[in-house]
Structure 1
Amino acid sequence: MSKSFPEILQNSKQLFDTFFDSYTPKLFSPKTRITEACLYSLQAGGKRVRPIFVINSFFEPNKIPQKIDLSNHSVLIASLAVECIHTYSLIHDDLPAMDDDDTRRGKPTCHKQFDEATAILAGDTLNSLSFYLLSLVEPTDGHLIRDLIHILHRGAGITGMILGQMEDIEEEKNPRIANRESKLHSIHEKKTGALIESSFLLGNRLRPDWSEREAVLSRYAKEIGLLFQITDDILDVEGNLEELGKTPGKDAKVGKLTYPSLYGMEKSKSLRAESLNKAITIAKELPSLDHEFFIGLPKYIAERKN
């Protein structure tokens, strides 16, 4: 019997959380100030959407297990690698030199809970740990580990998330009058979309039939990244601290280039609806991924409140 999107989402998160709770503390032992800072940010909560993307790109439709065993250990390791990279990016994004935020996931940011130097080092730790984790994946073919590292680096490294963050900072300091639309697209395709795409492709690469699905899954992931960012920009205007878990209204305050700032709210919501429909259309093309998750995900992202 086919499961609903909420059931698949819950099962995916439960599987990851079970693995996370049992495996992560071993990575940060013995207890020191830096391991405390890493765990503080990793355990702060969050939707765990990127690990969920990894998991659902790997398992067959409606076959997400409830227990951890050797058959799913590698995909969970890859999921944790993505969550470490994502958490590092949040720690650094909140720093005074970047977006300078005091609240993340409803709690004090890492540099507020500890101090700025500790937060920088905690982010550095989680970044390097991510690639170490990929080295622990069971090598089912001669190029698997290499490919996984390449996929994660493309999403998180100098051509992906890092470059997007740099372009965002440059645009904030020296706004460009011309080519605003292409610059907005470039920033968010890299800053947000690249790691989301990597999450889908990591899970897919662990499958024996990965090459048959990679191109269309990549197209789907790019659209999900766009939808995610448009929704984020809208929530920064319309959301509140309690729901978002972070300070709303900061984008406008510092003059960031966002969808609402460039197009206005009405047009931004129209673009969100357009992206949602496009993602659903692409989802129906996905081979071996005909369950409800990939069709339900765009609506979940567009309707979220945090």
Structure 2
Amino acid sequence: MERGNHTRVSEFILLGLSSEPEKQGLIFWVFLVVYLVGAAGNLLIILAIGLDSHLHTPVYFFLSNLSLVDFCFISSTVPKMLLNIQMQMQSISYGGCLAQIYFCILFANMDNFLLAGMAYDRYVAICHPLHYSTRMSLQTCALIVGSSWLVANFHSLLHTLLMARLDFCANNVMPYFFCDLVPLLQLSCTNTQLNQLMILLVGGLIVLIPFLGILVSYVHIVSAVLKVPSAKGKQKAFSTCGSHLTVVILFYGTITGVYLSPSSSHSAKKDSLASVMYMVVTPMLNPFIYCLRNKDIKGALRKLFSLQALSHRL
């Protein structure tokens, strides 16, 4: 389709993590294992929480939603990458590229919002324990998660529609393993100022507001814990936040490395490798972080596997 002197491309070429043919087999198996481990880990957490009535509490409601989002996040890019390697092709259709951008933004936003919701839950539990049941009711948790999905969908739809209005000329090659927003904008042969403005304003607010909420929550948490007289009480209070804080550092640390580091330090290869961290490695590690530091999740998983073993015997 032509607009003036411009022709809209029908597909994009994703160069992946390496252009060397001898490395494709290794990359395929590494990412296949990472995907299977990440998908299985997140689905197991969802199943364990769903089947254990003792875990039907606000903190595990948020955790099950986080696991669902992480499963979808890792599934939005890795299967296509594996298919391209297996089929020895590097292309993704124009529509497929826009769909990938939509879902990547959606699930990244949901990770962001859910981590903020979990921080607020820990803040109420530690700083206002007597009001926990009223402040963190089922309706409140459902409202937080539901409004998060609504805002995340609006944000991802905004960027996808703004991207759909652009023209792309001869250059359709990206040195990435998925369609990312900023590299795709660089391929456009039309004015992208509105897109960049929306990334800066709307995207900045959507990342900054939840992050500030997490920061404020932990300032209050640390202040409250330091007032606890016993060392054992302090350790117990901090242990309830340990897993969440680890995931927060991992998520925001990798996002910062990709999008907020100085432009002079950027290169296509470095950015592509850094994006692997927050889009693939972080969703894969989250189940292990929560399982290793959470006795309730360990117990629920043991019950789940014992039920499965019993059903096989019967």
- Normalised TM-score (structure 2): 0.29
Larger Rg: 2
Q: Which has the higher helix share?
A: 2
